[in-house]
Amino acid sequence: MLNDAKRFVLNNKWIIEIAPLQIYCSALVFSPMASAVRCQYWDQIPSWIANIPAVQKDWSPALQSLEGHSDTVNGVAFSPDGQLLASASEDNTVRLWDPLTGASCSTLEGRSKPVLALAFSPDGQHLASASEDYTIRLWDPSTGVCRSILMGHSARVLSNDSTSPAMDQSRPGPSSPVQVQSKKFLDWDRTDPRC
């Protein structure tokens, strides 16, 4: 019952936060047939709801949907400790989320073009976001402050994920390559991120 209650709350969090009484009018009605919460509280559904919609038998594998971007999400990345989830979007922003609650922690703004990719540094102290504006921005995920802008690319930056050399802190030497659309790798100095 406890696991089902958690799924019920996560799945209906957005409507419960806006209009708590919708828990009876919408949340129960649209919960899966096998939901223990639905079965337990079915008699609380208002009598004026005459047509009950057909719903799925059980919960979907998706735990929750994170809503807040106004356009397509191009990529996501978990912080190394799993405490933050970052999302990159066509709406020119990066959002930081609490993956346990689904709450939006902050929105990183300042881009003029869509954000294509992002990655946390292995220690979680930096978040790199790559954009169609030919730059990579390094953010402090704890404050949401942009620490530096890496410029000098001649095409949009395609990748800067933590498994690529771009964020590989163990790579010998002070520089890191970043893949751009032209399939070249550019080096930038990790000790002085100005390009």
- pLDDT by residue for the chain (195 residues), tens only, comes to 888 988 888 888 777 888 887 777 788 888 999 999 999 988 888 888 888 889 999 988 877 777 888 888 999 999 999 999 999 999 999 999 998 888 889 999 988 899 998 999 899 999 999 888 888 889 999 999 999 888 776 666 665 444 443 444 443 333 444 444 444 444 445 455 443
Please tell me the predicted confidence (pLDDT) of residue 192. Answer: 53
pTM (predicted TM-score): 0.66
Q: Which long-range contacts (CB under 8 A, 24 or more apart) does 181-184 make?
A: 181/155, 181/156, 181/157, 182/154, 182/155
Q: Identify whether 127 is part of a domain.
A: yes
Q: What is the pLDDT of residue 173?
A: 39
H helix or E strand, kind and range, residue 28? helix 28-30
Taking the C-alpha atoms of residue 119 and residue 97, their distance in angstroms, rounded to an integer, is 14
Residue 103 domain-assigned? yes
Specify the pLDDT at position 9.
84
Ramachandran quadrant class, 146 (left: phi over 0; alpha: psi -120 to 50; beta: rest) = beta
Residue pair 159/180 in contact by the 8 Å Cβ criterion = no
Tokens of 56: 């799925």
Asked whether residue 194 is assigned to any structural domain, the reply reads no
Q: Are residues 5 and 94 in the same domain?
A: no
Provide the number of structural domains found in the chain.
2
Domain of 96, in residue numbers: 73-189
pLDDT at position 96, please?
Answer: 95
Same domain, 88 and 165: yes
Same domain, 79 and 34: no
Q: Let me know: does 33 contact 42? Beta carbons within 8 Å.
A: no
Closest CA to 1 of 44, 34, 26: 34
Q: Which of 21, 39, 63 is the last residue of a domain?
A: 63
Residues 117, 49 within the same domain? no
CA distance 187 to 192: 12
